């Protein structure tokens, strides 16, 4: 069967970059300049294609969706407008969670099963450096153990695509790539030129990523003991949950974050990104469209279902649900963020409790988060890169943003 994601390969064979093409030197100014998300493409010889594949130089959502899924998203269907092309969405958790995973470990288990079943020869995933748990080290894992040791988020910009440089001569013909939106946009753009027979893409939703330095500022302004944090997540109960190395959990309400300090922490690439839900992946596994404690799974095409089939017998699943109304909270949030208001902790906790009880849940929470980030990012692009507004903000994001009143640019 012709893999959907490889449609472009048969239509238009594109030569791989010449082997003399050289990755850019580390530390040089990359083509996207301040908007670079350090996805790693420029750290490989595939830098030869950067002008047409970098998510921050040229947005190409429609072409990417058509190439990967056979069609672009239906803008008249509100679920597709928000969550992208899909054939199925569900909530799930592993009956036997993987200890130390970000949530229950569905992503790592798919990686393990993909290798064990012979579906792929390697899994592109992100380990951690020996000296720092939050410094990402992308790798091509060949064994289940290597995939498992890459479990849990490294919540920092990760140069995943630098490992493309290792593909030629490696014997890897079938690859499962795990990654966030900016990495997957560039990967899809060069897919036809890769020395692969099969590519499966398992995406993570992603927003508000940071450099390693930015992460330090975030931890120091938010948590009691930054040095002992081993895991954190912005969760559906409107709190950030931190886990410390001694097993202790600490929660901080979103509304109590130090907005004046944090406004400048997020990477400019993330402040100009509209690919929150990872539009080009075959399968996306996140949490924000699920009720608290479960993961949210979006199957975009038959390849995505093939990946999910690897673990479906091990999952407890449920249909997605949606309740509440996000719109007033989003509108209030736009204004509060713009004024960089910082609330006293008692008030933040009180608002958090009310919103948790009465606020949006399930898919409506997902829409709340998308609306909040797209409006913030549209404003950021208008203010910092007005010359890019036309070409950079995709049609689906414009429709979403137009539903709200934005402050003056």
* Least distance from ligand FAD to the Cβ atom of residue 61, Å: 19
Angle between helices 327-338 and 363-384 (to 10 degrees): 30
Torsion of CA 240, 106, 206, 256, to 10 degrees: -10
Question: Which is closer to ligand FAD, CB of 65 or CB of 275?
Answer: 275
Cα–Cα distance measured from residue 322 to residue 279, given in angstroms and rounded to the nearest whole number: 21
171 φ/ψ sector (left φ>0, alpha ψ -120 to 50, else beta): left
Cα–Cα distance measured from residue 338 to residue 93, given in angstroms and rounded to the nearest whole number: 36
* Least distance from ligand FAD to the Cβ atom of residue 92, Å: 10
Contacts with ligand FAD by CB under 6 A: the residue count is: 35
* Least distance from ligand FAD to the Cβ atom of residue 12, Å: 29
Question: Which is closer to ligand FAD, CB of 91 or CB of 106?
Answer: 106
Question: Which is closer to ligand FAD, CB of 204 or CB of 299?
Answer: 204
Residue 307 makes contact with ligand FAD by CB under 6 A: no
**Options 6-14, 101-109, 185-193, 302-310: segment touching ligand FAD (CB under 6 A):** 101-109
Residue 265 makes contact with ligand FAD by CB under 6 A: no
Question: Which is closer to ligand FAD, CB of 192 or CB of 207?
Answer: 207
**Options 48-56, 287-295, 308-316, 347-355: segment touching ligand FAD (CB under 6 A):** 287-295
Helix residue ranges, H only, 339-362 = 345-358
Coil, strand or helix at 29: coil
Binding mask 123-162 for ligand FAD (x = CB under 6 A): --xx---------x-------------xxxxxxx-x-x--
Q: Would you list the DSSP string of 152-216?
A: S---S---GGGGGGG-TTS---EEEEEE-HHHHHHHHHHGGGSS-SEEEEEE----S---HHHHH
Residue 266 makes contact with ligand FAD by CB under 6 A: no
Q: What is the CA radius of gyration of the chain?
A: 20
Kindly report the backbone phi and psi dihedral angles of residue 395, in degrees, each rounded to the nearest multiple of 5, phi listed first: -55, -40
Question: Which is closer to ligand FAD, CB of 107 or CB of 196?
Answer: 107
Binding mask 172-211 for ligand FAD (x = CB under 6 A): ------xxx-----------------------xxxx-x--
**Options 64-72, 78-86, 94-102, 190-198: segment touching ligand FAD (CB under 6 A):** 94-102
Residue 308 makes contact with ligand FAD by CB under 6 A: no
CB 165 within 8 A of CB 45: yes
Long-range interactions of 71-74: CB distance < 8 A, separation 24+: 73/279, 73/396
Residue 215 makes contact with ligand FAD by CB under 6 A: no
Coil, strand or helix at 219: helix
Binding mask 22-61 for ligand FAD (x = CB under 6 A): ----------------------------------------
Map the footprint of ligand FAD across residues 226-255, applying CB under 6 A: 233
Question: Which is closer to ligand FAD, CB of 101 or CB of 355?
Answer: 101
Residue 269 makes contact with ligand FAD by CB under 6 A: no
Give the C-alpha distances (Å, rounded to integers) separating 128 from 96, 148, 262, 347. 24, 12, 24, 37
Residue 101 makes contact with ligand FAD by CB under 6 A: yes
Question: Which is closer to ligand FAD, CB of 9 or CB of 39?
Answer: 39
Question: Which is closer to ligand FAD, CB of 17 or CB of 162?
Answer: 162
For the four alpha carbons of 65, 69, 74 and 78, in that order, the dihedral sign comes to negative
- Return the closest-CA partner of residue 155 out of 108, 213, 110, 109: 213
* Least distance from ligand FAD to the Cβ atom of residue 387, Å: 28
* Least distance from ligand FAD to the Cβ atom of residue 372, Å: 11
- Return the closest-CA partner of residue 182 out of 390, 356, 331, 392: 392
Residues that bind ligand FAD (CB under 6 A): 98, 101-108, 125-126, 136, 150-156, 158, 160, 178-180, 204-207, 209, 233, 285-288, 295
């Amino acid at each position: 069967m012709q893999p959907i994601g490889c449609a472009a390969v048969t239509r238009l064979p594109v030569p791989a970059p010449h082997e003399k093409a050289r990755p850019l030197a580390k530390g040089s100014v990359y083509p996207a300049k301040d908007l670079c998300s350090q996805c790693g493409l420029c750290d490989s010889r595939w830098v030869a294609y950067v002008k047409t594949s970098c998510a921050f130089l040229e947005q190409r959502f429609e072409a990417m969706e058509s190439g990967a899924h056979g069609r672009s998203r239906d803008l008249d269907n509100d679920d597709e407008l928000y969550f992208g092309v899909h054939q199925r969405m569900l909530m799930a958790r592993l009956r036997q969670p993987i200890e130390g995973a970000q949530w229950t470990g569905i992503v790592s288990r798919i990686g393990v099963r993909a290798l064990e079943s012979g579906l792929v020869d390697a899994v592109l995933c992100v380990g951690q450096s020996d000296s720092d748990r939050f410094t990402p080290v992308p790798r091509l894992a060949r064994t289940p153990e290597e995939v498992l040791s890459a479990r849990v988020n490294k919540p920092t910009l990760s140069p995943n695509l630098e490992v493309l440089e290792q593909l030629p001569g490696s014997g890897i013909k079938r690859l499962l790539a795990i990654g966030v939106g900016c990495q997957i946009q560039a990967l899809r753009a060069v897919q036809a030129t890769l020395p692969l027979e099969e590519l499966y893409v398992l995406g993570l939703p992603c927003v508000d990523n940071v450099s390693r330095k930015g992460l330090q500022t975030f931890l120091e302004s938010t948590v009691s003991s930054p040095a002992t944090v081993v895991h954190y997540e912005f969760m559906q109960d409107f709190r950030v949950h931190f886990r410390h190395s001694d097993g202790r959990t600490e929660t901080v309400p979103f509304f109590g974050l130090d907005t004046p300090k944090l406004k400048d922490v997020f990477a400019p690439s993330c402040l100009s990104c509209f690919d929150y839900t990872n539009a080009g992946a075959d399968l996306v596994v996140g949490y924000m469209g699920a009720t608290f404690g479960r993961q949210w799974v979006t199957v975009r095409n038959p390849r995505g279902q093939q990946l999910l089939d690897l673990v479906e017998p091990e999952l407890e699943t449920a249909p997605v649900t949606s309740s509440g109304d996000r719109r007033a909270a989003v509108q209030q949030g736009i204004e509060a963020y713009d004024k960089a208001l910082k609330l006293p902790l008692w008030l933040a906790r009180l608002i958090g409790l009310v919103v948790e009880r009465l606020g949006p849940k399930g898919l409506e929470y997902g829409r709340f988060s998308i609306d909040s980030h797209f409006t913030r990012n549209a404003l950021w692009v208008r203010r910092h890169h007005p010359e890019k507004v036309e070409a950079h903000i995709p049609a689906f994001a414009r429709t979403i943003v137009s539903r709200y009143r934005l402050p003056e640019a």
